[in-house]
Each structure stands twice: as C-alpha cells, then as structure tokens.
Structure 1
Amino acid sequence: MAEFDTEVSVLVQRVVRDISNAFKKNPDIDEIGIIPCPEPRYNRSPIVLVHTKLGLESWCVKFLLPSLHRKLLLYRQRKNYLDREALVDVTVTLLLLNPDFTTAWNIRKELLQCGVLNPEKDLYLGRLALTRFPKSPETWIHRRWVLLQMLQQCCAQKGCRKEPDEGAPSQAPGSRPPLCTHQARLLHQEMAVCSEAAGRYPSNYNAWSHRIWALQHMARDHLQVFLDELSSMRLWVSMHVSDHSGFHYRQFLLKALVTELCKALESSTTTATDTSNQQSARLKGPGVERSTGGQPAGVSVPQLLDLEVELCSELILSFPGHESLWRQIVFLWYQWRRDTDQGHALPFCGISMDNNGQACSSTDRSIEGLWCEGDPMDVDPHDPQLLRRAPVRTCSLHAEHSFVSSLLENCCNSEQRRFALAYSKWLGSVVPQ
C-alpha cells in the first residue's frame, strides 16, 4: 500500500510538472481535453500537446484528482506546506480537471492579492477551463472577481472614470467618452469568451449572465457598444434559433438601448430649451460648447423595433417550429401592451394614451392609431416574403393578423402551426382583428 501511494505521488508530481512545462513551451494553448485511454501505453507522459491543443490521457485522472484535492485541503488546514510556485502549478492542474473546486480559486485569489499571479494569466486559465466546462459557475464567479480587481486598478492608475468637475456641463446619456484601450480590450476578450462558451453548451445561463455583467460594468452608458453588440448578435441568434438565451440577451440590449435613447432625447430637449433661454437672455459663457446630447446619428427607438421584428419574421419563415423565435416577437409586442396599460409614452413605438385610454400616435403618420415609419407598401397577403418586408407589418399590430394568417395557409410544420395559433390567440387579446 505504501509503495502504491509512493507511485501515485510520483505520477502526480510528474503530470503537474509536465503540464507546467507544456504552458511554458506553448503559451498560446487555447483548448484542453481528455483523451480516452483506459490504461497507460508504454512508459511515457500522459500529457499530449499538439499545436495549441492540450490533452490528458483519461487513465491518470482518477489518480490526479483525489491526490491534488487532498494536497490543497491539507495546505488549507496548515498540515502541509507548499511554496508559492508549487501552489500555482497544483491549482492550474486541478482547475483544468475540476474548475468547480472553490478552494483552489480562493487560493489563487490570495496569490493574486499578494502579487504572485498576473490577473491576465488567471483570466487565461479560466478561459481554458471553460473549453471543457463551459457552464462552470465557480469559474465565472472567479472571472468576475478578477475583472473587478483589474477595473479598479485601471481606474486608479489611468482615471478611466473621473468625477466631473464642479460647474462643468454634465454629459448626456450616450455621449460618454470612449472606452480606454485597456477596458476595450478586456470587453472584447470577455465577449469572445462568452460567445465560445455559449456555443459549446446550449442555453448556457452562466455565460449569458456574465456577458450582461461585463457590459454593465465595463460599457455602462456607452450606446455605441450596445448598438454594436445588438448588430453582432444577429449572426449568432440566426445560427442558434432554438437557444432562447441569445434572444433573452437581445432583450436586455433592447431595454438598455431604449432607456438610454429616451434619456438622450429628454436631455436633448432640455438642452435645447436651456440654450433658447440663454440666447433670449443674451447670456454668453466663454469656452462653453452646447452638447447635442441626442441620439446617435441614424438611430431611433422605432428603428430598433422594426429591425428586431423583421429579424424574427425572417427567422420564423426560414426556420419553422422554434418556440424561441415566437417568444421573442411576443416580447416586443408585450412591451407595447405593458406601457399602454400603464398610460406611459411607449418607448418602442412612441405611442401614448389619450384621455379615453386609447392608443394614440404623436405623429401624423399613423395607421389605425399605431405609429408607422415611412409610406405603407402594397403587399400581397399570400406572399410572406413581401409581407415581412412591409414597414406597415413591422410597425402595426393589426398587420400581425395578416402575417399569421398567411403563414398558417402555407404551414406544413405541426410545431410551427401550434406556435402560430398560440401567437394569434394572444394577439387577439391585444388588438382585435
């Protein structure tokens, strides 16, 4: 028994050393995996490195995990001594095999605070662990902790978010200064990690939650970043039409954009009023420029809704029978219904309630009380390809009835038909035919 324990200890030390040497040999390793191998072949290392892929033969995992777990637990209980270099190597090997071992991440937090570890290296380790365990909650939690440390350090050193001087004109929503280079690089890196993890595991709630967290902490009030995200995610959701998590992320983006665009519009109106008052009073301040504070050029709230409804319509016609697409389009119209019931100005369509509780438009270009951008197009109700491109259909709830009717006439998919009937029933409770 003692001889067997000695052999296992030698094996564990050898594997830990080989993994450390593999990272030194190729610091660009981007994926790890387990190679099915029930027993050792020849007298060679179980570590396989091919270009940027690192593999570990499966036979040694049953020896590695218990031994490494025991080492760290004894170290935590102060019953075993490990120097800092050994701690780094042991935690790397263990977390690549089991990233949900919280004790290992906590030890690395302490090493980071002591300056032994580089935060960038820890993010790199987490990214590798996510290639095997894309849903690992402890990995995402540790990643957020590391990012917060890096952001605080960035703000302290470079003044990423300086407090505005007293008396200085406040910046309007959406007109924030651009992200610094370090923050922009971190944000781009996190978006790539989240996309990769979401592609490896369907409905990866942890990855999408982390993506939302990253935007909220690294790109708050930067409208262009949110707009770029909304645009770049079109391809992803088009390739994963059955994954509702991606559409839920688009809902977050739309809500954030609508909120910020409305703030920008209010700020623009207030700024214009203040400027008019200043001009009438003949008050001039040296060196003060009036900020437009308005929406980014070419972007408006109704356009966001139009593009989203058009995207959902195209995907519904191209990929029949996916509930996530119908849920997304219901979400868009539910926003209209909710704000109408509350008697508020509708953020999506610019519709408000009159004294009789009826929906009314703030513009003259309306169809049956619903706002419509552009001139209506003549469409064939039996041609869904023409129907979905009509501005009237994407802006009017009434035209949704025609869209569903046309779809049901030519529908051969049982799931698509079931979803369309359910949507038509819900639609009838919002706007009667």
Structure 2
Amino acid sequence: MVQADCMTAWNIRKELIEAGKHKVMEDLSLSALILTKHPKSAETFAHRKWLLEKIAKTCGAYTATLNDTVNIDLELQVCQGAADRYPNNYNAWTHRIWVVQTLAKEQLKVCHKELHTTQKWINTHVSDHSGFHYRQFLFLEISKYLKIIPQCRSQQLDNQNIPLEFDCASGCSEGCDDDCVLVKKNISKLTHYEKSREVLVQLLCREVNITTYLIEHYPGHEAVWYHRRSVVWSLMNNHNTVNRVQTTGSPTEEIKVKIQRMDTESEELIAKEKKFSQQFIDGSSNTWQAMLAERYMKWIDNLN
C-alpha cells in the first residue's frame, strides 16, 4: 500500500500465487484497493494484467468460464476509477484497451457500450487526452470488426451476418441534432459492405457533433480539437478506403457514380470544417481558442 511500484514485492506475490499460497482473486481485490491510493501505479496494473492472463490461461480465453470468473465490467470500472483519480492516466487507459482487446467476448457490443460510458466521462474531463485517445481506439476496433479496412472487398461481407444492437440515442450530448443519431431503421443485420460502412460513418458523424458541442461549451481545450482531427481524418480515410475497394478492376457506371458521390461528400466535409473553424478565428473572445482554430484550419488545408 505504501510502495505500489515496488516490482520486487509484486514478483514475490506472483511466486506465492504460483506456489498456491495466495489466491488470484484475492490479489485482484488487493490491487484494486491499491489503485484507489496509487491510481497511476504501472506495476500494479502490470500485476493485474498478469493475474488476468493467468485466469485466461486456466479457463481458456473467450470462454464462458472466463467471463464467469472475471467480471469485465468490474475491470473496466477499476480502470475508470483510476482515470478519475489521476488526470491523463496513461497506465489506466492502456490497461483498459488491453482488457477490451483481450478479454471482451462480444467485442462490438463492448466497444459500443464503452463509447456510451466514456461519452459521459469526456463531458466532465475535456482536457484529458488519454480519454479521447481511448475513444479513437474504440472507433478503430469497430472499423476492424465491420471489416472497414483497405484490404477488404465487399464480397467478404455478403455472406456474413453481423449482429448490430446499438442503442441509437445513447451517449449523445446536449445540443446534438437528429443527424448525429445512428438510425437503424429496417436494418437488423449487416449483410453488405455498404451497410457496415454506413454504421461507421454515422458513428463518426455523431462524434463530430459531440466535439462541436464540447468546443462551443468548453472553449480552449486542445484535447478536444485534436480529437476532432482524428475523427475527421477517419471519415476522410473511410471515403478513400471505399474508393480503393470500389475501383478494383474495371469500374462500372454505377460504381463511378458512387465514387463521384463520395468525392463530393469529402469536399463538403472539408468545406464544413473550414466554416466551423473560421467562426472561432473571427469571433472568439478566447485568444487560445482562436489559435487552436487557426491550427485546425491549417490542418484541414493540408487534407486537400
């Protein structure tokens, strides 16, 4: 409790567990308690990771037994508690990423739930770069799950049934309009590349609206502006990815029309972002906010 980052002490506890003199679950409880006093302790998080890996090795990863033994939600709460107690807690957020990547059984559902949970969190921690970086990780994981990657082809999703159970309105901030809400009308399962792409696009568009709300209501926070860059870049990259997929081989007339439409959407997005940043350059009484807007404008110009 006094020296949480004493590696020797944690290694001794590992030896005692291996010898059967200490129980894994007891050490999980102890390390959770220690993190309430030392929320950024890298060695404590490393020990928790070792404990969870030991449980996974014993039960078999992604099995019902593992999920019964390890409460994933509780582990995520431990991470969030540590993040609450120490700003920009890199160790807590890195451990949280590892939990989602390694222990989550239904990853798409977990990622969406985490988007909802951390949406509330970033509203009260608008300067926390690590929290925004975690949301960027979640979008990347969702895109991987939906096969939105340069190497994919639309045919790969034609015969797949990917369940999608998003609570459409959850997690939206005040001031968001209907355009930010993920609409799931007449879509119970994803069976086509374009549908999976639309899911990601709508989630990213909603995130743009969330950053708009935060920038307007909490001016001068660099973390929000950088997060907006990441989201807009993901939208642009998604358009470019679709273009590469669609142009494989000789494009048909229908594909040419789709590509032209997506190019138009990209141009409209850039124009909207320029207009958004210009309003703060011209009209913000906060000089730091105006400077952040200028930097954002320069970044947008480099996208062309």
TM-score of the superposed pair, with normalisation by structure 2: 0.77
Instruction: State the match for 1:124 in structure 2.
Output: 29
Q: Does 1:296 align with 2:296?
A: no
Match for residue 400 of structure 1 among 273, 280, 304:
273
Match for residue 319 of structure 1 among 218, 222, 230:
218
Match for residue 182 of structure 1 among 68, 71, 95:
68
CA–CA separation in structure 1 for the residues paired with 2:209 and 2:242:
23
Instruction: State the match for 1:421 in structure 2.
Output: 294
RMSD: 3.3
For residue 397 of structure 1, give the secondary structure of its aligned residue in structure 2: helix
Distance change >3 Å, CA 138–CA 368, structure 1 → 2: closer
Q: Does 1:195 align with 2:68?
A: no
Match for residue 17 of structure 2 among 105, 112, 119:
112
CA–CA separation in structure 2 for the residues paired with 1:270 and 1:231:
29
CA–CA separation in structure 1 for the residues paired with 2:217 and 2:273:
17
For residue 262 of structure 1, give the secondary structure of its aligned residue in structure 2: coil
Give structure 1 stretches of 5+ with no counterpart.
1-95, 162-177, 274-291, 373-391
- Could you tell me how far 1:192 is from its partner in structure 2? 0.6
CA–CA separation in structure 1 for the residues paired with 2:24 and 2:52:
8
Distance change >3 Å, CA 302–CA 160, structure 1 → 2: closer
Q: Percent identity?
A: 33
Q: Does 1:245 align with 2:130?
A: yes
Instruction: State the match for 1:236 in structure 2.
Output: 121
Distance change >3 Å, CA 110–CA 367, structure 1 → 2: closer
Q: Is the 8 A contact 2:88 2:129 kept in 1?
A: yes
- Could you tell me how far 1:186 is from its partner in structure 2? 2.4
Deviations 1:381-410, CA, capped at 9 Å, x for gaps: xxxxxxxxxxx7xxx221111212233343
Q: Is the 8 A contact 1:268 1:294 kept in 2?
A: no
Question: What is the total number of aligned residue pairs between the two structures?
Answer: 267
Distance change >3 Å, CA 313–CA 361, structure 1 → 2: farther
- Could you tell me how far 1:363 is from its partner in structure 2? 3.8
- Could you tell me how far 1:336 is from its partner in structure 2? 4.6
Higher strand share: 1
Mapping 1:42-53, distance limit 5 Å: none
Distance change >3 Å, CA 192–CA 361, structure 1 → 2: farther
TM-score of the superposed pair, with normalisation by structure 1: 0.55
Q: Is the 8 A contact 2:88 2:130 kept in 1?
A: yes
Q: Give 1:311's aligned amino acid.
A: I
Q: Give the number of the structure whose alpha-carbon radius of gyration is greater.
A: 1
Q: Does 1:345 align with 2:250?
A: no
Deviations 1:160-209, CA, capped at 9 Å, x for gaps: 44xxxxxxxxxxxxxxxx896426x5211111111011111111111111
Distance change >3 Å, CA 115–CA 361, structure 1 → 2: farther
Instruction: State the match for 2:2 in structure 1.
Output: 97
Deviations 1:304-352, CA, capped at 9 Å, x for gaps: 1111111111100010000000001111223355577xx63379xx998
Give structure 2 stretches of 5+ with no counterpart.
166-183, 185-195
Q: Does 1:139 align with 2:38?
A: no
Distance change >3 Å, CA 120–CA 187, structure 1 → 2: same
CA–CA separation in structure 1 for the residues paired with 2:106 and 2:271:
35
Q: Give 1:136's aligned amino acid.
A: S
Mapping 1:201-220, distance limit 5 Å: 201-219=86-104
